[in-house]
Structures are given as structure tokens and as C-alpha cells.
Amino acid sequence: MSEIKKEEIEVMGSTVPFFTYTMGETQYYEFDTSKCGPPDPMVNAMAGLKLIDAPNKELVMINHKKPAGLLDKIGENFNNRTEKLDDGRVKIIFSYKGEDSQKADLNQTSCHG
């Protein structure tokens, strides 16, 4: 199996590096906010979710914990699954949810109402 080639990309509004790579038919966008405090995880997730505009695109977020506020905010708009990494961090993978994803308000980057 060949090694995944990750390419750094610029994402409008992000505060951490973003990378993209392709596996099979799916294009992934990935960022790591595991060493960041609020509001960086939410800000970067919202910036990255703007890239998820088709079923063959997914966003991978590496964080120090499961981002409950973020999941509450966009859970109806994107599918997500969480994996616990060996080092204690979590990986959340967001995927497109059709019309629900198109309705998401990704400009609100705070966790509180």
C-alpha cells in the first residue's frame, strides 16, 4: 500500500494548517487543533466544513477531546463519526449529508447561543 501524500492548502478563516489527500474516491481535508484552546477548534471546524460540499469529500478533525459544542451545533447538518486515537486524542470525521449540509450556518463560530 502506498503512503498517503498530504498537501498543505490554504483555508479561508483557519488558524491552523490544513492538509488534503485522496483515498479511493474520497477527498479528505484534515486539521489538528489538539494543542489549541477555544475558540480555535470551533473556528477551524467551521472553516473546514465549508469545503464539504459533496458526498465524496470529508473533513478530519484531530482534537484533544470530543467537541461537544461543535457537534451540538452542526450535528443535524453533517454526518460524523469519532475514533479514539492511541495517544488519547480524538479524530472526528465529518461527511456530507445532502441538503442538510447545504443549510448549515457555518459563519457562527462560537459554541454558545
Going from N- to C-terminal start, the domains of the chain cover 7-102
Helices (H), the chain: 40-49, 68-74, 99-102
CA distance 8 to 52: 17
* 31-56 per-position pLDDT tens digit: 999 999 999 999 999 999 999 999 99
What's the pLDDT score for residue 113? Answer: 41
Mean pLDDT of 95-112: 84
Single pTM value for the model: 0.93
Q: Give the class (CATH, top level) of 7-102.
A: alpha beta
* 62-95 per-position pLDDT tens digit: 999 999 999 999 999 999 999 999 999 999 999 9
By the 8 A CB rule, do 84 and 90 touch?
yes
* 3-37 per-position pLDDT tens digit: 889 999 999 999 999 999 999 999 999 999 999 99
> Which residues does residue 23 pair with via DSSP β-bridges, in sequence order?
26
> Which residues does residue 92 pair with via DSSP β-bridges, in sequence order?
61, 82
